[in-house]
Amino acid sequence: MRSQHEPQVFSAVIKHSQMEGEFLHEMSNTYLINKTSLKDITWENLCIPEMLIYGMRIIGFPSLQKETYENWISINNQTYLLTPFITNPQVTLISEEEFDKLGDKSGYRWSIFYTLSRPGFSQDLSQALIQITAHCPAGPPQYGSLLYLESTGEQWEVKSSYGLYNQ
């Protein structure tokens, strides 16, 4: 059941993030889960309702089910090849070697290189959680975000994002 929803989630994320014409690493990104402590990115911290802190509007994922978060953590403990799940021809999937090589070439200095984690799903497949990162070799934009998506029948829609970092 999961396999039929993953391509739809990836397609919604690609469309939402305006990744057309850019490069996407063909392996899933596990950095957040395997290289950080996750102490600030707990389910409890992600579920915060909308609030104002020092004039900044902070929007969490108040509808995020704990099982969605736990599924996202468990599915991303190891890397996976995304090629079978990416059905959107507007992005160019590239290998690790190409990812490093293109980033060093002057003709690609202003390109944006993306990575995605695999989505975590709720048991009823009504919501998903996925991580996206973007890197430009020449400088900004460089960011990482968690995206919360909800299913609207046959379509997936990004409802909210939670910024992990922005440099």
Start-to-end CA span in the chain (Å): 37
Give pLDDT tens digits for 6-35: 999 999 999 999 888 889 999 999 877 776
Task: Tell whether the model's pLDDT for residue 69 goes beyond 60.
Answer: yes
Residue with structure tokens 């468990």? 74
Question: In this model, does residue 167 exceed pLDDT 70?
Answer: no
Measured over the CA atoms of residue 15, residue 16, residue 21 and residue 24, the dihedral's sign is negative
CA pair distance 96, 28, nearest whole angstrom: 11
The number of folded domains in the chain is 1
Domain coverage including residue 123: 2-166
**Where does the pLDDT of residue 75 fall: very low under 50, low under 70, confident under 90, or very high at 90 and above?**
very high
Closest listed residue to residue 141, CA positions, set 114, 162, 160, 159: 114
- Share in percent of the chain as helix, strand, coil (round to 5): 30, 35, 40
Mean pLDDT of 40-52: 79
pTM of the model: 0.88
Across-strand partners of 161?
147
> What percentage of the chain exceeds 90 in pLDDT?
46
Judge whether residue 153 has pLDDT over 90. Answer: no
Q: What is the pLDDT of residue 141?
A: 65
